[in-house]
Amino acid sequence: MEKWKIAAIVALLAALPVYGYFVDGAKKLPALENSPTGTPTSEPDSIEKPASPPPDYLMKWWGQKPPAFSFPKELWANTDKPVQLADLRGKVVLLELWRAQCSHCQFAAPLIEQLADQNKSKGLEVVGIHCSAEKNTIEYDWNALKQKLPQFGIRYPVAFDEKRTVFDKFHAKKFPSIFILDRQGVIRYANEGMTPSLKTELEAAIKQVLDGKNPTWPPSKAENAEDAATKYAPDK
């Protein structure tokens, strides 16, 4: 057999394992989640990437008060009455903007419920706002969505924002968007998405805000609260 034919066969055999790797890998990739604008919110494997600083449109909320919102009693779940942020003054509040069809939100839900349980006695309240985005799905069926909340592991109060007004007021772009408010109702932490470091970030930020300090980026358990309080913007 001619040498060039032998070389071609060897090259073909060597390429087969690589081809199989990409074919198998493609089958395992989850579907892209869509943002309200219809564009992908992230790469399929984004939850495996290291956390990056919050984008400017969320970073600007650090040190500011959140926009007001109000929903009638019938649009709340897991609570006997409507939740008003003004009524939670004196508490530290974790506010989550999420939606049912977002896989990152589904990953984050048990973590946030765990943080709610661990810190409730210390003064933390968790409030969720479900911001509908996918038409003709459960996201627009409040009765069906309420029945799904236990499956998501959500026991904290959740409001139904069918028109996505709160999401738009925050100028948010991705789900979930998470904000931590201090006891005076000022936002001390704001970020988006689900990453492996989210648990560490939230635990550290919640602890610092409960202690009356201002988190920096990234929130760090190793950093004492006094140092963290001097590293970010003062109250405005």
Each residue of 207-226: pLDDT tens digit?
A: 999 999 888 776 765 444 34
User: Which distant-in-sequence residues (6+ apart) come within 8 Å of 151 by Cβ?
Assistant: none
Write out pLDDT tens, residues 96-116. Answer: 999 999 999 999 999 999 999
Helix (H, G, I), strand (E, B) or coil at 58: helix
- How far is the CA of 185 from the CAs of 61, 80, 89, 178, in angstroms? 12, 22, 6, 15
Strand 124-131 relative to strand 92-98, pairing: parallel
Tokens encoding 207: 């602890």
| Residue 150 burial (10 A CB sphere; 0-12, 13-18, 19+) | exposed
Using the structure block, give the residue that is written with the tokens 């400017």.
56
pLDDT in tens, 123-138: 999 999 999 998 899 9
Cα–Cα distance measured from residue 127 to residue 179, given in angstroms and rounded to the nearest whole number:
10
Position 204, amino acid = A
pLDDT value at residue 220? 61
Q: Is 133 helix (H, G, I), strand (E, B) or coil?
A: coil
Q: Which two tokens stand for residue 41?
A: 């919110």
Task: Write down the pLDDT at residue 91.
Answer: 96
Task: Report yes or no: 100 and 130 within 8 Å, Cβ to Cβ.
Answer: yes
DSSP state of 126: E
**3 state SS of 76:** strand
pLDDT at residue 193, as a whole number: 87
Residue-level pLDDT at 54: 83
Question: In the sheet where 177-181 sits, what is the strand order?
Answer: 76-77, 158-161, 124-131, 92-98, 177-181, 187-192
pLDDT reported for residue 12: 52
Identify the pLDDT of residue 226. Answer: 41
* Residue segments in the chain with a per-residue pLDDT below the cut of 70: 1-51, 218, 220-236
In whole angstroms, what is the distance from residue 27 CA to residue 99 CA?
A: 26
